[in-house]
Amino acid sequence: MSTQTSSAHGKTPRDLSATVVALTSLSGEGSTISGEISVVALSEGVESEDLRVKSPAHLDLTLRRDGGRFLAHGTVEATIHQPCSRCLAEFDTRLMMRFERFYMIGSDPDDVPGEHQMEEDLVYLEEGELSLKRLVAEEVILSVPMVPLCSEACAGLCAGCGADLNREQCGCADPEPTGPFAALANLKISS
């Protein structure tokens, strides 16, 4: 029987919204940090017109020195709110991310000025200071669905009258499919 229990239950989670870890303070053994990034702090990093943060994000993070690099791995859980790309209804998505990334202190030799490359698994930190708020914001952005759907079966809006076809049947005749995706309408996709 395991004596380990989930950290956050039963007590107030630690607020990591303003936490910055100095990488040079880490040992090879590493350290584990668990807590939350507040809605306000996370919103600064991820919000756009179409995307809002719904609840504090939970972070479980293990950090350790790995040769000349620093390894960060763990999980992020967050809830975002965005409009469906078919019917425009707003809905919540619970995101669960498992991440692993390496950090180095210094400036990126391949850095293109003005371009922030988040996709890289190796991230350079000029001052060697890791902002947990930023780490979580980056993971959320990488996990946001490109084409958010309230449901795989969402019927979307009628192209003729704009009626929400999930809720009502409108009087429009089936329009002839046109445009670059017309051929796709005839494909049956099984999942």
Q: How many residues form the binding site for Zn ion (CB under 5 A)?
A: 11
Residue from the set 16, 21, 86, 132 that interacts with Zn ion by CB under 5 A:
86
Distance (Å, rounded) from C-alpha 94 to C-alpha 82? 11
Pairing of strands 122-125, 90-105: parallel
Q: How far is the CB of 152 from Zn ion (least distance, A)?
A: 10
Distance (Å, rounded) from C-alpha 26 to C-alpha 3? 27
What's the longest Cα–Cα distance across the chain?
Answer: 68
- 160 binding Zn ion? (CB under 5 A): yes
Q: How far is the CB of 183 from Zn ion (least distance, A)?
A: 22
CA atoms in the 13 A half-sphere facing the CB of 126: 1
Residue from the set 161, 182, 184, 185 that interacts with Zn ion by CB under 5 A:
161
- 150 binding Zn ion? (CB under 5 A): yes
Q: Which residues bind Zn ion (CB under 5 A)?
A: 84, 86-87, 150, 154, 158, 160-161, 163, 170, 172
